[in-house]
């Protein structure tokens, strides 16, 4: 009998940048996706309903339009949270994700998008059958981060899906 894949689902909030790159990479890798987004599907570039849900209908809306609820629920409902960032980028939402993961005592790793070996080692330590929340800055806070995150996750495809 084959063992469960390392990651059984990738979740995020659907915001531009890291969130969407994670969902796009997961689809490319054939991994199920999901997660919570703010009411109305709000994202910085998709402000009117259905918002990000038009592109990612797998996302569920929180009762609140406040992105903070989406952030907390994605951490809460995942086995672990991977926070991908770039040195020097300050993001209140990313900081909130790290704070919530600590408060909920959830495994989490904050790592620069250029360090795939650190992510690989961490994932291997966590085991198999994970629901992985992937979070980080918006594209407007870190231009180009979506492209870099997508490339990193595709590079780690075998680690994620096997």
Classify burial at 30, counting beta carbons within 10 Å of its beta carbon; exposed 0-12, middle 13-18, buried 19 or more: exposed
- Confidence class for position 36, pLDDT limits 50, 70, 90: very high
Identify the pLDDT of residue 3. Answer: 72
* Contact yes or no for 154/25 (Cβ under 8 A): yes
Q: How far apart are CA 54 and CA 32, in angstroms?
A: 17
- Confidence class for position 134, pLDDT limits 50, 70, 90: very high
Domains of the chain in sequence order: 7-161 (3.40.50.450)
Identify the pLDDT of residue 44. Answer: 95
Identify the pLDDT of residue 2. Answer: 58
**pTM of the predicted structure, to 2 decimals:** 0.96
% pLDDT > 90, the chain: 94
Give 99-122 pLDDT, tens digit per residue: 999 999 999 999 999 999 999 999
Give 59-102 pLDDT, tens digit per residue: 999 999 999 999 999 999 999 999 999 988 989 999 999 999 99
The overall average pLDDT reported for the chain is 96
């Amino acid at each position: 009998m084959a063992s469960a894949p390392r990651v059984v689902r990738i979740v995020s909030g659907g915001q531009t940048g890291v969130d969407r790159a994670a969902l796009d990479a997961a689809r490319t890798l054939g991994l199920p996706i999901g997660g919570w987004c703010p009411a109305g599907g709000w994202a910085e570039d998709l402000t009117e309903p259905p918002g990000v849900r038009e592109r990612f209908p797998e996302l569920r809306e929180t009762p609140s339009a406040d992105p903070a609820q989406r952030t907390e629920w994605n951490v809460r409902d995942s086995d672990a949270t991977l926070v991908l960032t770039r040195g020097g980028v300050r993001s209140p939402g990313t900081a909130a994700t790290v704070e919530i993961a600590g408060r909920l005592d959830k495994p989490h790793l904050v790592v620069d998008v250029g360090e795939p070996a650190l992510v690989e080692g961490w994932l291997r330590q966590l085991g198999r059958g994970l629901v992985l929340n992937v979070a980080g800055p918006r594209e407007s806070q870190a231009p180009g981060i979506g492209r870099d995150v997508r490339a990193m996750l595709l590079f780690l495809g075998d680690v994620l899906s096997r």
